[in-house]
Each structure stands twice: as structure tokens, then as C-alpha cells.
Amino acid sequence: VDLPLEALADVAKGNETVEYACSLPQLSQGKIDVVSGGGITCRDRRDPLGVIASIVPFNFPFMVPHWTLPIALVAGNTIVLKPSEKVPLTMYRVVELLEEAGFPEGVVNLVNGAREAVEGLIDHPLVRAVTFVGSSPVAEIVSRRCRELNKRCTALGGAKNHLIALQDCDIEGTSSDVVVSYAGCAGQRCMAASVLLIVGDEEGTHQKALLQNVIEKAAKIQPGTEPGKMGPVIDDHSLKKILSYIERSEKEGATILLDGRSWMSEMASSKGNWIGPTIILHRNKADGAMNEEVFGPVLSVHHVSTWQEAIAIENANPFGNAAAIYTTNGGHAEWFLTRVRAAMLGVNIGIPVPREPFSFGGLYGTKSKYGDMDITGDGAIEFFTNRIKITSKWPVPSVPEYTMGLVKQQQDQKKVNGIVDHANFAGRM
């Protein structure tokens, strides 16, 4: 069976986290140090939390569950996974394979359902922590519900990712990357490009050439699941939402540079919810598609005169997942990297997904992230464990050789430092 490349990539990306989790015994050791005289030491260790509930979305039915599953298990926890009701079979098969591999019963558990199942998992007294990936409104609800129960939670929400193209960007590389970023996976991923800000004169040769290249490359994409093609969106609800933003943009005065609605008639005899790559040129930065999450293969383009104007637009959006800068000048890139308001940043990379040990997660204080820490990498190690700190002092042995040496050592220290330990801590603060 010839599987779609994006499905194979979903599995490959999930396996990256499995590889990382296999190395955790070497990466997550505790620390120990002598912190004071008199043999006082501090050390720490990581203890598992217990039962973890992991609630995952439809768009990556293998990868996103494997952001949490391997690390949580290696940390010593058990897990209850609730896959999206739209794509329940992928993880059902994974659990079957885990059983074949010899996983003990009850270590990995699968629960299907919708809202009622999620609320039941959050409220269950044995569940110690919850991870969630999905829309921002639901992420906020999940986070608040966990907070009311004093449960650890990381809830990742939606995104509105901005790409900023400077006057010195490489046209060929930038245009290809922009198209892959906004149209890959039919635009239904939280790291997809949503807004392209082109800096400089709208009639400038470089700016016009870049936009024309983006349009031409996107227009060549054909419907399908083979390499170089784009599949349908997940369901009719998603399709209607995407169409509503395109229609709304027209009413707001924007120009449709590439209209993906033609796929609806072209693919009418085929199963699926088809909408082709769409590019909209906005004159008004307040347009709906410029500010709200569309979650489809729609790219909003807006021309800005200055770097500061580009930063102002990016900073004003309420999300904080990803942003990217396209330039051939390192100094220009660094200027933007210190000013954009997002947690995962790209330089000439439109899908800046960090790979372990670097962690995945949006920016605190935005609609892209609620709760605690990141969901992969070293952030996940912290999330899925309790760090236990131990301070120790053992009685002084009564062996003469030991006590004689200790007394002499203390006398020598007092001569040098003039320290008297009034607190009887046997240390120097």
C-alpha cells in the first residue's frame, strides 16, 4: 500500500521522541553536591507523578500522542490516552503493538469519546497531570478545570504564525518555504504559516517577484495525497470555516490572488472536503483572516513599509506559537529574533519545530499556551516528574582517626576565618 508522505512523516516525527525517551536514563540523572562543611550534602531525584491523561487532536494522530507517551512512560508514569474522536484508529493500533511488545496491562490505556470523556479524565482523583493539544478555547477550559483541582496541566492551543520577508531574502528559497509552510498538511497544523508580511515598497522589483513566485508555486499544487499534492481538510465543519474566512475577506475589500475554491467543483465526484491553496492580499491589517486562526490552506499577505510595522503587527496578535524571518543577513535576523512575540522562531524556516532535546510549546501569556512547561524535550522531563530534594547530614563516627582529623580541620578553619558557628549548622553561610 502506498501511504501518503505526510502520514509517513507523522510516524517519523513521533519516533524522534521515542528515540529521545530511550536516552532519558543518561539525560535525567539527579545532582549531588557537598553544600557545607561537616559533611552536609544536597541531592535530588525525579519521581513519577502517577497517572497521566493525554488528550490529543486529529491532525497528527501518531506524532502528537508520542510527544507525551514515551517520555511519560520512561519517567515511570502510566498513561491514559484520549485520541481525537475523528481519528481513533491510529493509536488503537499502537496500543495493540505495545501489548504485543510485552507492556504490562494497565500501563498504557486508551479511552475514546468527546467532552464527557475529557472531563471524566480531568476530574478523576487518580489522574495527577493532564496534557492537551487542540484549539485555544478548549485549551483554556482544560487548564482552568485542572487548576481548580490543583492538577498539573500543559494545554497547547491555536496559532497565528507570521512570516516576515525582508528586502534581502532569497526569492527562490523563501517562496518555496512559504508555500510548504502554509499549504502543507492542508494548513491544518499549529505551526503552519498564516500571515506573510512583505517588507518594503509594494511595487518594488524584489517584493513583486517574491509574491509572484509564491502564487505560481502554490498554483501548481494538485489535489491528492501523492508527493507534491495536497489532501482535503478533515471535515465539513473545517471546510465551512475556511470558506467563511475567504468570503469575509472579499467583503472586507481584500483581493483573492489564488482561489482554492475551484477545487470544490473539480473534486465534486471525489470523497473528501476539498479546498485548494488560497492566497489573499489584504489592504487592512484589521481584516478577520489577518488576525484569527483559519486552520486551513489560506495565506494572508500584507505589505509593510518598515521593520517596526512588521513587528507591531506580529506583536499585536494574541497567539504566540511561531514566527519566522526571511533574510540573508544575520544581523537583520537577530534584530527580529529579539522582538517577535512567539516561543518557536525560524530563520529562513517557515515551520520552526524544535527537535529534542529542545522542547515544543507556545509562549506563556498567549492563546497558544496555558498551564505548565512545554510538552516535549527537557520541559517534558520536568512536567512528568516531581523533583525531590534531599539534604543529609550523618552523625560523626566515633572512630578516633576520624574525630581527631575533624577537630583539627575545624580548628584550622577558625584560625583562618575567625568563624564561630553559633547556629550549630557546621557550615559557612
Q: Which of 146, 153, 185, 190 is catalytic?
A: 190
From residue 154, alpha-carbon distances to 26, 55, 286, 313 in Å are 25, 11, 31, 27
Specify whether the CB–CB gap between 223 and 266 falls below 8 A. Answer: yes
Chain CA centroid to CA 192, Å: 12
The 10 Å Cβ neighbour count of residue 255 is: 12
Place of cell 488576525: 291
Specify whether the CB–CB gap between 13 and 82 falls below 8 A. Answer: no
Q: Known catalytic residue: 42?
A: no
- Residues composing the chain: 429
3-class secondary structure per residue, the chain: CCCCHHHHHHHHHHHHHHHHHHCHHHHCCCCEEEEECCCEEEEEEEEECCEEEEECCCCCCCCCHHHHHHHHHHCCCEEEEECCCCCCHHHHHHHHHHHHHCCCCCCEEECCCCHHHHHHHHHCCCEEEEEEECCHHHHHHHHHHHHHCCCEEEEECCCCEEEEECCCCCHHHHHHHHHHHHHHHHHCCCCCEEEEEEECCCCCHHHHHHHHHHHHHHHCCEECCCCCEECCECCHHHHHHHHHHHHHHHHCCCEEEECCCHHHHHCCCCCCECCCCEEEECCCCCCHHHHCCCCCCEEEEEEECCHHHHHHHHHHCCCCCEEEEECCCHHHHHHHHCCCCCCEEEECCCCCCCCCCCCCCCCCCCCCEEECCCCCHHHHHHHCEEEEEEEECCCCCCCHHHHHHHHHHHHHHHHHHCCCCCCCCCCCC
Q: How far apart are CA 181 and CA 140, in angstroms?
A: 26
Catalytic residues: 190
